[in-house]
Structure 1
Amino acid sequence: MKFDLAIIGAGPGGTDAAEHAAARGLKVVIFEKNKLGGVCLNEGCIPTKTLLHSAHLLAEAREGRKYGLSIPEAELELSKVMARKGKILKKLSAGIRMNLQNLGVEIVTEEAHLTGRSGDAYQIQAGEAPYEAAHVILATGSRAFVPPIPGLSEVPYWTAKEALEIDTLPSSLAVLGGGVIGMEFVSFFSTLGVEVTVIEMLPKILGPMDEELSTELQKSFEKKGGKFHLETKVTAVREGVVVAEHAGEMVEIPFEKLLVSVGRRAVTEGLGLETIGVELERGAVRVDAHMQTSAPRVYAIGDVNGVSMLAHTAAREGVVAVDHILGGGDAMCYRAIPGIVYTHPEIASVGCTEQELQAEGRAYEVHRVPMTLSGRFVIENEQGNGICKLLTDEQGVVLGAHCLGNGSSEILVPAIMAVQCGLKLSDLAKVVFPHPTVCEILRLAALH
């Protein structure tokens, strides 16, 4: 069977690329050995946010008295929350399948690997059937990285996948890693009353994200009883105990359940990349600005290229790759890739942080306002605080935007556009934002 384009992996990047290509007349086949939607839909973004939404509603119900409400019976039924999660995943997966089929994309539910090249076509084996394609897009995603910690393999532990499939709550949870995934699970479990402890090697949580916002988020969890061991290296794991080193001293951290969340690694094994000359760099597929690999007409998008492991990045990269296949000149730009932490409260960031600008020695200005200047924020967040700050260069061009507060993921969008398009603060200040909305905090920050 011959195709114009074969896509290996049906996550956000692969499915968006398939739809984009098929809508423009290419004959497309997409291979997925697991479920449509990939890790994002089935083991990551969507199930995590489903659980977090239920936890956020529970928190709001418990805080009802702040808003003149009394809901003393508010409680979370874990089995029903998990059942709702499953229902949502099935609905979204069915929607992806229907859209692909309506566009004429052939869906093959088999593990696929490249076997070589003949003339202008690449050979692919999937199950018992051979396929040929003029172009190939690799979109195989990533998997959780489990570090070689002494004793870890001898005790039961969770990765994000297992943490999303629980049927009972532990009394305590130790989280190895204070990155985005780890902190979202901290938000979920701590809201449900689980005693949570975070162990992080770096001096702050959330790695490269804005230090001020990360620190404030940590403080909000500490007020709720969360514990944080920063600049702490795990040296061993025993049943019910994490052994770690901090400032030259050994500490033992007890737990009932252990969540390992220290990052992800690109999935490149078993794809047959060596048969066609695809080069790797630090374990991921090396690509150019058009997402093309070292092999002609072979592209790599999403987590497998290791550049920006985010679903929305993968979706954009897929469009760039298809455009190049069709003869266009579109190129990938990573200047305005938003990063969101869907905790309670949320963090949303785009562009440069203060720490990055300082490290580069670049001059910049900070335009910072409290979220409480927004009437809508005050209405919906009784006794809540937040921060919105815009970073600009000396000419007023917006270099970055960083928000802490519920709803930040939605209000960041105009700032993303400003960073992407190189707008000045004066341009943003001229935009008429609807009132009352939390989003208008960006205009207020632009005026400061």
Structure 2
Amino acid sequence: MAAKEFDLIVIGAGPGGYVAAIRGAQLGLKVACVEREHLGGICLNWGCIPTKAMLRSSEVFHLMHRAKEFGLKADGIGYDLNAVVQRSRGVAKQLSGGIGHLFKKNKVTVVMGEAKLAGKGKVSVKTDKGTEDLTAKSIIVATGARARELPGLEADGDLVWTYKHALTPPRMPKKLLVIGSGAIGIEFASFYNTLGADTTVVEVMDRVLPVEDAEISAFAKKQFVKQGMKIMEKAMVKQLDRTPGKGVVAHVEVAGKIEKMEFDTVISAVGIVGNVEGLGLEEAGVKIDRTHVVTDEYCRTGVEGVYAIGDIAGAPWLAHKASHEGVMVAELIAGQKPHAIKPNSIAGCTYCHPQVASVGLTEAKAKEQGFEIKVGRFPFIGNGKAIALGEPEGMIKTVFDAKTGELLGAHMVGAEVTELIQGYVVGRQLETTEEDLMQTVFPHPTLSEMMHEAVLDAYGRAIHF
């Protein structure tokens, strides 16, 4: 059978791949997208989207318990875990189906199966009907990543879960251990803790949410502890003794001593590894470093016509970074001149309670890089809208270059900060200075006013604090 010819083949239909395919098609390229499992990838089916749906349920549940504070009455508050999970799966399904529709609309050919590079400009796909050969001048690898499994801490779906099991839980954990306090770990800890699980989080680094600014991590930790979570930092789970039907004894090393602790459920969230196997990458001459494809700032692999985007191309492991790379590479292939992505201007968002969001350099990183800095802070307690919402716990922090007024970084913890951060992201994109931000009129009463005040504070001009 003759190979089907395209201008662009995209391997993987996650937030990087499907966006690259659509953008390529918009620019007049003939595009095929190969996917082995679900349109939308992990993000839509097993990651960003269904977790947000579940966290929304736990947030409403938390608010129901606070009804009295708002002058409301709610009796017999409870939840149906199965219904919470079903809602979350429904949301994922709706969006995944939407991508199929977008592909049709943009005339992208979808090939369901496992792809492998089979020589210059060739991709062979193992489908359930046999093997299909495709050819194209340009190939984008967007196969994403999966949960890292540590020896002895592997998931079994019963006592030890990955994010996938945690999204379709076989039961409600009573005593839960979460290993790892990055975004995935802390979001699940937040969800299950809010629904009543006795939750312990173990983090190997010296603080929770270790990529965040130290002050924001400390603030978030205080809130987690207030909510009843047990947080163990500079700690490592050495082994898990499993007794099926009963539970797990975790051996946790803290300060050189081993503590034995009993749990009925463990969620492992210790990072991710790139899906680089079985793609014929190395045979094609593509360089791989610690399960990630090595690329330049335009996502080129060094092998002519082969690009890699998203999680497989390394940090930051964020869906929005993958999508933006997809657009950039599609434009490059179509002969346009897109800008390279600046990883430092990509915001990170964590949807625990309270939410955490940040962009750019932390205070420590800015100092490390030799900047002379000015730092501003503003607490939620000084904001009218936050108090009216009943969310007075939070803080916004800004870091400026004292010499030029450049906004080096912004860090937030509190209600809805994942929506607020974009203001600072736009500011960085437009190369704004403190002067521009100070001259901007922020609407009242909004949480966004705190963004203004945090800038003013860096220059000793805050009004409400």
State if a TM-score over 0.5 links the two structures.
yes
Deviation at 1:37, TM superposition (A): 0.5
Between the aligned residues of both structures, percent identity stands at 37
Q: 2:263 aligns with which of 244, 255, 269?
A: 255
Shift of 1:227: 0.7
The correspondence of residues 142-221 of structure 1 with structure 2, limited to 5 A, is 142-149=145-152, 156-221=159-224
Alpha-carbon shift at residue 179 of structure 1 (Å): 1.0
Residues 351 and 400 in structure 1, CA contact (< 8 A), matched pair in contact too: yes
SS of residue matched to 2:172: coil
Is residue 430 of structure 2 the alignment partner of residue 403 of structure 1? no
Q: Give yes or no for the alignment of 1:432 onto 2:441.
A: yes
Question: Per the alignment, in what secondary structure is the counterpart of residue 429 of structure 1?
Answer: helix
From 272, 295, 315, the equivalent of 1:307 is 315
> Are the aligned partners of 2:179 and 2:203 in contact in 1 as well (CA < 8 Å)?
yes
Q: Relative to structure 2, which stretch is displaced further, 228-237 or 312-321?
A: 228-237
1:124 equivalent in structure 2: 124
Aligned partners of 1:372 and 1:112: how far apart in 2?
Answer: 53
CA contact (8 A) 2:115 2:123 kept: no
Match status 1:108 vs 2:111: yes
CA distance in 2, matches of 1:88, 1:68: 32
With 321-330 and 384-393 compared, the bigger mean Cα shift is at: 321-330
* Shift in CA distance, 148/429, structure 1 to aligned 2, threshold 3 Å: same
Post-superposition offset of 1:126 = 3.5
Structure-1 separation of matches of 2:171 and 2:219:
30
DSSP-derived class of the 1:269 partner: coil
1:21 and 2:24 correspond: yes
**Aligned residue pairs, count:** 444
Q: Which residue matches 1:8?
A: 11
Runs of 4+ in 1 over 3 A off after TM superposition: 149-156
Contact 1:217 1:345 in 2 (8 A): yes
How do residues 219-368 of structure 1 correspond to structure 2 at under 5 angstroms?
219-239=222-242, 240-330=248-338, 331-368=340-377
Compute the displacement of 1:216 (Å): 1.3
Give the alignment's TM-score, normalised by structure 2.
0.93
Secondary structure of the structure 2 residue equivalent to 1:75:
coil
Distance in structure 2 (CA, Å) of the matches to 1:151 and 1:302: 25
Alignment of 1:49-88 (within 5 A): 49-88=52-91
Q: CA deviation at 1:313?
A: 0.4
Q: How big is the shift at 1:325?
A: 0.7
Q: Do the aligned residues in 2 keep the contact of 1:335 with 1:420 (CA within 8 Å)?
A: no
Shift of 1:422: 2.1
CA distance in 2, matches of 1:199, 1:253: 12
Q: How far does the alpha carbon of each residue in 1:280-324 deviate from its partner, in whole angstroms, 9 at most, with x for none? A: 122210111111112111110000011321000000111111121
Alignment partner of 2:260: what SS? strand
The Cα RMSD (Å) is 1.6
Which moves more between the two structures, 126-135 or 95-104?
Answer: 126-135
Per-residue deviation at 1:150?
7.0
Whether 1:138 aligns to 2:144 is no
Cα distance, 1:260–1:150 mapped onto 2, change above 3 Å: closer
Give the direction of change, closer, same or farther, for the CA distance of 1:41–1:143 in structure 2 (3 Å limit).
same
Cα offset, 1:155, TM superposition: 8.0
Aligned mates of 1:40, 1:13 — CA distance in 2: 10
Measured in 2, the distance between the counterparts of 1:254 and 1:364 equals 46
Is the 8 Å Cα contact of residues 291 and 332 (structure 1) preserved in structure 2?
no
Structure 2 contact 9–139 (Cα < 8 Å) conserved: yes
Task: For residue 73 of structure 1, report the CA deviation from its aligned partner.
Answer: 2.3
Query: CA offset at residue 76 of structure 1?
Result: 1.6
Deviations 1:106-154 (A, max 9, x none): 011111111112xxx3333342211111100000000000111378779
In structure 2, distance between residues paired with 1:263 and 1:231? 16
3-state DSSP class of the match of 1:12?
A: coil
Q: Which amino acid aligns with 2:38?
A: K
1:227 and 1:70 map into 2 onto residues whose CA distance is 31
d(CA) in 1 for partners of 2:96, 2:190: 26
- Does structure 2 conserve the Cα–Cα contact (< 8 Å) formed by 1:301 and 1:314? yes
Tell me the SS of whatever aligns to 2:201.
strand
Task: Return the offset for 1:167.
Answer: 4.1
Partner SS state of residue 160, structure 2: coil
- Look up the SS of the partner of 2:42 in the other structure: helix
Task: Decide which moves more: 255-264 or 324-333.
Answer: 324-333
- 1:62-115 CA-to-partner distances (Å, cap 9, x unmatched) read 111111112122222111111111211111111111011100000111111111
The answer to whether the 8 Å contact 1:139/1:300 transfers is yes
Once the two structures are TM-superposed, the CA of residue 244 in structure 1 deviates from its matched residue by 1.9
Equivalent runs, 1:370-381 vs 2, <5 Å: 370-381=379-390
1-structure distance, mates of 2:367, 2:144: 33
The answer for the alignment partner of 1:420 in structure 2 is 429
CA distance in 2, matches of 1:154, 1:257: 10
In structure 2, what residue type is equivalent to 1:242? A
1:434 Cα offset (Å): 2.1
Note the residue ranges of structure 2 that are not aligned, 5 or more in a row: 243-247, 458-465
Name the aligned partner's letter for residue 411 of structure 2.
Answer: H
- Alpha-carbon shift at residue 245 of structure 1 (Å): 1.4
The CA deviation at 1:447 is 2.0
TM-score scaled to structure 1, two decimals? 0.96
Aligned equivalents of 1:85 and 1:307: distance in 2?
27
Contact 2:154 2:160 in 1 (8 A): no
Whether the 8 Å CA contact 1:122–1:135 is kept in 2: the answer is: no
